[in-house]
Structure 1
């Protein structure tokens, strides 16, 4: 209960921060209560602490949103510069963060920061599947792009697409000289991979945006993507998938997929209407 109460206070603090209200007292109190709850839990049932702190993609997304919220102050130009610089720094520092973790930190906490290989002979992949280094870089640079995004001209769309294609082409590991450079400079692996993926994303944005008005279903999903992703996780990996796991033939799978997509689209529309209604109430 203290952990949940502390997290609710932290959520309220960032909600107030986004609306320009006083938030520090809520954040400090929430962090203190949450920390105290974990300390008590570590004495009562130590095995539960790693389970509650287990790093997953939703925690990574949430941490990235918090980081963006703390960096987006001042004019739009200044905010974009800070976000881009921070994103580049995250990509460049990833190799050093991976070499440092877990360090003095508990494994569940260090897994939020960066991944590290398992001990020799251990079964499984690296600890930390979605750490902030390097994944935070994509969120920061994406937020910088979104802050300055206005209905662009065809020329601007073409420029973004060409820039992305050139960036992806130049940093692709399929080139022998790029592969040799990465082998000789291990620190550069993550920055170049971040650059490559961003280049691919910019290219796809440039290709898809001109058709966006004809594909409003994707815009609907995109505006509530975090909620939809959360629901999808329950059906992909959570309790909602257990009754169907290994029991569906191909036709049943297609029917189930269609029903799930329609259900999530309905949920997205409901959430958007709810958000619009709340915005209208705030305006009045």
Structure 2
């Protein structure tokens, strides 16, 4: 389906000091005291329910010493905007290590299944789609800046992944026509076509459909200046969460936007039973 690959796959010969960490975007779980942000000088606690960056796995060696030249340690948590101060997301090596904690990636984060099924750590649908699209947009900008060749439209129009791209970009629009996707999981297709759909429409006559990325995504894949802004991920998630958390949203937005935000504010849960049955 073209969703995030296993970001923690390593060779059997890898050692803790040679493995790159993954920068997990997640929701801080319930806690009586919250978590300390590891950025030097940040006085604010990461409170439950806030988006944060979890650096995992850590880079301590077997003796518990931090690897030379590396700034990330085991179980370090950061506010997203704080992490953007030290991670240069205008560089592909950093962007490639970003992954959202979601219904289909949580196991790679090595989380307890019972905690996940209680709704902890997982991003809501809007934050999930925005984080993935932010990553795609920034990687495209980096490739263009660095002269990395990518496939053009003529090469990709008959690619099976084109149907997946169409689903990810256009689900929810009245103009979207579902295509057959070979080998696709029915649960995943339903989720991407409904809760995770980025568009909201009032029907075939709607000439101004609502789009999640147009509304909240700060990094634009057609604007190289986006790479000059260190905080595009943090700003994107802030703008999204600001609308989700507002109690008087009905007074500020039109009905179509309200429908979309309420739908995308839901946290998609893992298909544990389906995964078990597929493993039999």
TM-score clears 0.5: no
Q: Which has the higher contact order (CA 8 A, sep 6+)?
A: 2
Structure with the higher helix share, 1 or 2 = 1
Structure with the higher strand share, 1 or 2 = 2
TM-score, with structure 1 as normaliser: 0.31
Higher alpha-carbon Rg: 1
